[in-house]
A and B are shown apart, each in its own frame.
Chain A
C-alpha cells in the first residue's frame, strides 16, 4: 500500500512567503502570538520584518494597516475565529473601507477553518468566517483545499494589492491538485471530477469529503461531479453557472451553518438569479454550536452529514428521479 503524503497548507504557504521575503524586501509578517516551524525561520532571518504583536488581534489588524499604508505587503497571521471575529471592526474600517480609496496589500491568514480544531469546542470552531468576510466590499476571500493551491496563492497575493482573507484548515491533508491538469487560477474554482446528474460544490477541507462521497458512489456505479470553490470572493458567477446548469441536482457540503451565507447561499443565489429548475441539497451544521466534544466525523454524524448519510441520500434521490417531493422528504427528515 502506498503511503499518502499529507501536508499542512499553513506550512507550505508560509514556506513560500518565507522564500519570497529574501527577494521582496517589502514583505512584512505579523503574528498574533501564533506560530509554526516556518515562522521560527522568519523570525530568525528577517528580524526586522517580523513582529509578534501578542495575543491582540485588534492591534494585529491596526499595525498591519499602518505598515500597508506605508507600502509594505503584509501577512497577518492568527487563529481564524479570533482573527476574523475579534477584530472584525478593525478589518471593516481599516482594510475594507480604507482600501476602497487607498491601495493596500494586507493578507489575513486564518488557521482553523470550520471544525479543524475539532476538540477545542465552540470558541475554536469557525462557522461564520466565510459569511462575514464575504460581506466585506473590496476583500478577496480565498479558501484552498490543498497545499498546491495555497502555494499558488502567494504570487497572486503579492501581485494583487487588495485586502485578502486566506482561510486555512489546521490539519495535515493529502494533496488534491498535483494530478489536476491546467486550469485558470483566477476562475476561482476547479471541476475536479466530471460526472453526471449530481455535482457537489464545496470549499476547503470539505472538498476532501466530497471526493470521498464521489468515490463511494462510484462503487454503486453513480458518477458524480465535484467542484472545488477556492476563490469565494470575487466569485465568477457566470462561469460557475455554466458548469452548474449541466446538472439535475447540486449538493453543497460545508463546515458552516446551513443557509447563513456560506457556500450554500452563494450557490443558491446564482441559481435563483437565473431561474433554473435545478434541485439543491445543502449539508452543513444546524443553527447551534457544538459543545459535545468529538472528531470531525463525530460532529458530522451529529449533524447528519457524515459520508454514509450523504451517499445514502444521493442514492435515494437518484432512485426517485430527483423529484421535488423526494427532496422535500429529505429536508423534513
Chain B
C-alpha cells in the first residue's frame, strides 16, 4: 500500500510535534533520557499514527489488539505525547512527568495505560514477547507482538536466549524493531563490544531480517506494513538505522549524549529551529 503524499506529510507533522513535546517534557523532567527518546520518534509515529499497531485507547485490554513491548523503556518518553494524543490518558498529565505523585515517570510501567510490561531493566522484553506470542497462537488470536529494543540492549545475554527461542518455535507473530542508534551509555557500541554484522547474526539464528532508515517515515511505513502482512514462518526483525539524540545537533555528535540533559534555553532554541 503506497502512502499518499498528504498522509506522509501529516505523519511528518506529527513527528515534529512529538519531538517538540518530548523536549518540553524534558524541560520539566531533566532526569528523562532525552537522547534515547529522540532516536525512536519516527518508529513510534509510524506505528501509532500510521495505524500499523492495532490498539484501542478506549479498550486497552482488547483481546485482538497488537501487543507492543517497549523493552528500552528509558527511550519511551517520546511515546507519552502520542498516547495522550490518542486518548490513552489525559493530555494534562504530560505537564506532570516526573512530578510528585504522577504515574508518568522517567521510565514507563503498565500503570500507564498503553504499556504492557514493566520496563527499565534491559533484556527482558523479547523473552516476555516470546511467551505472549506463544500464548496468542494457542488462543488463536491474530494480534502481533511488536518489541522495541535498543542496540546496546543486545549486550544482555537473555536477549539471545529469546532470539533462539523465537525462531525455533517459529513465532512469526513477533516483529522486533531494533533502534540501532549505535551508542550505549558511555560510548559508541563499536568501542565497547562490536555489534557489527547484526543482519548476519539474526540470519544465522533463522530470523527474517530487514533493515530501514529509522528516521524515514515513508520507508518505515512501507517496511512495517509489509512485515505485518509477511507470511513467512519466521520471527521478523527490522534493524532501524537511527541517530541518538536526533534533532538536537549537540547531542547527535556526542558519544556521551545518553547521560546528558539539555538546559531550558537550549530546548527553546531547538524547538524554534524545528518549527
B129 within 8 A of A: yes
Whether, in the assembled complex, B33 has its beta carbon less than 8 Å from a beta carbon of chain A, the answer is no
Task: Confirm or deny: B187 has a beta carbon within 8 angstroms of a beta carbon on chain A.
Answer: no
B121 close to A62 (CB less than 8 A): no
Place the interface of chain B in its size category: 20 to 34
Taking the complex as formed, is A295 at the interface, i.e. its CB lies under 8 A from any CB of chain B? no
A59 & B110 in contact (Cβ 8 Å cutoff): no
B11 at the interface (CB under 8 A from A): no
Binds A, one of B23-31, B159-167, B231-239: B159-167
Which of A92-100, A146-154, A307-315 has 4 or more CB atoms under 8 Å from chain B?
A: A92-100
A62 touches B135 (CB 8 A): no
Contact with A along B163-205 (1 / 0, CB 8 A): 0110001000000000000000000000000000000000000
Could you tell me the dominant secondary structure of chain B's interface residues? helix
| Contacts across chains A and B counted by CB atoms under 8 Å | 97
Of B110, B131, B161, which is within 8 A of A70 by CB?
A: B131
Q: Is A66 a contact of B138 with CB atoms below 8 Å?
A: no
Contact A69 B131 (CB under 8 A): yes
Q: A59-B161, A94-B124, A97-B118 are in contact. Are A67 and B135 (CB under 8 A)?
A: yes
Interface SS of A by simple majority: helix
Within 8 Å by CB of A66, from B118, B121, B130, B164, lies B130
Q: Which one of A8-16, A45-53, A183-191, A219-227 contacts B?
A: A45-53
Q: Nearest residue in B to A89 (C-beta to C-beta)?
A: B121
A70-93: CB near B (< 8 Å → 1, else 0) gives 111000000000000000011001
In which size bucket is the chain A interface?
Answer: 20 to 34
Partner among B127, B130, B131 whose Cβ is within 8 Å of the Cβ of A68: B131
* The 4 A-B residue pairs with the shortest CB-CB distance in the complex, in nearest-first order: A66-B131, A62-B127, A70-B135, A59-B161
Mark B residues whose CB is within 8 Å of A: 109-111, 116-118, 120-121, 123-124, 126-136, 138-139, 157-158, 161-162, 164-165, 169
Some 17 contacts from A to B, beta carbons below 8 A apart, are: A28-B138, A49-B138, A51-B134, A51-B169, A56-B161, A58-B127, A59-B158, A62-B128, A63-B131, A65-B128, A66-B131, A66-B133, A69-B135, A90-B158, A97-B118, A98-B117, A101-B109
Binding site for B on A (CB under 8 A): 28, 48-49, 51, 53-54, 56, 58-59, 61-72, 89-90, 93-94, 97-98, 101-102
